Amino acid sequence: MDQQGNFGGGFDDIWRATKEFGEFFRDMASESGFCGGAWDRDRGQWDKGRKPGEAWKEAFSPRTNIYTREDASLVFEFLVPGFDEKSISVAFAGDMMTLKARLATGDADTGERRYERRQFTLRDIARREYPVPAESYQQDLAKAVYRNGLLRVTIPARAEGPHGQEIKIDIETD
């Protein structure tokens, strides 16, 4: 069986049409002025120096798993290969956890390489925020472990106190 299996050259046609559509869409967006940069969420304005689509890529970086353990602690798992643990910062401000990380100079993808296959991008993480309500989680007891490119942050839940119990309120009549 050849590389294309039972489909013959059908995939080549689909690939070519997809590429042509992408080029058409890029040209149309460029002519309309829509691609004059990228939205900088932190500064709340257009950044003419950024390539269009960079914000889209950043929205999915780093790959993240979020789940709750049986003991109700909240766990974040971040896929961050290539980073040194000293260049990763995790902090809390109010009800938000912030993740920042910088790659060593020269390690980041600059767009100059031509990949045969690409499934992840090495890039700095300027700032990613995740909600962690301080009333529900003990942020000061959070633990972060970085091993083999996986950063796992575990935040214990607050013990259920009076706020978790049912409180009966008497109804008075006039």
* pLDDT at position 118 over 70: yes
Cα–Cα distance, 139 to 167 (Å, whole number) = 27
Taking only the tens place, the pLDDT of each residue in 12-25 is 778 788 878 777 76
When comparing pLDDT for 57 and 16, which is higher? 16
User: Domain 62-108+120-160 - what CATH class?
Assistant: mainly beta
- State the pLDDT at residue 19: 79
If phi over 0 gives left and psi between -120 and 50 gives alpha, with beta otherwise, what is residue 109?
Answer: beta
Cα–Cα distance, 46 to 55 (Å, whole number) = 11
Q: Name the pTM for this structure.
A: 0.59
Kindly state the average pLDDT of the residues 55-72.
Answer: 80
Kindly state the average pLDDT of the residues 66-89.
Answer: 92
When comparing pLDDT for 12 and 96, which is higher? 96
Candidate from 49-58, 99-108, 132-141, 157-166 with smallest mean pLDDT = 49-58
* Sign of the CA dihedral with 103 first, then 105, 106, and 109 last: positive
- State the pLDDT at residue 132: 93
Domain boundary assignment for the chain: 31-60, 62-108+120-160
Element (H, E) at 11: helix 10-31
- State the pLDDT at residue 139: 93
- State the pLDDT at residue 95: 92
- State the pLDDT at residue 114: 79
- pLDDT band at 110, cuts 50/70/90? low
Mean pLDDT of the chain: 75
